[in-house]
Amino acid sequence: MKRRTFEVTTSTGLAKALMSELHESAEDVGRRVTAGAVYVDGKRARDGAANVKAGSRVSVVLEASGEATNVERAAPSFTLSVLFEDAAVRVVNKPAGIPAQPTPDGEVSLLDLATRHLGREAGLVHRLDRETSGVTVFGKTKASTSALAKAFREGRAKKEYVAIVSSGLPEQGVIDTPLQKDPSRPGRWRAIRTGNGIEAVTKYRRDVVSGSACLVRLFPETGRTHQLRAHLASIGFPILGDDFYGGASGPRCLLHARRLEIDGVTWEAPMPDDFPLKPTG
- Convert 258-275 to b/e letters by CB count within 10 Å (16 or more is b): bbbebeeeebbbebbeeb
Q: At what angle do helices 26-34 and 14-22 cross, to 10 degrees?
A: 120
For the chain, how many residues are written? 281
Active site residue 129: yes
CA-to-CA distance for 278 and 215, rounded, in angstroms? 7
- Measured CA to CA, the distance from residue 83 to residue 6 in angstroms comes to 29
> How far apart are the C-alpha atoms of 158 and 80, rounded to whole Å?
23
Sheet holding 43-44, edge to edge: 2-7, 57-62, 38-40, 43-44
> Annotated catalytic residue: which of 112, 129, 207, 242?
129
Catalytic residues: 129
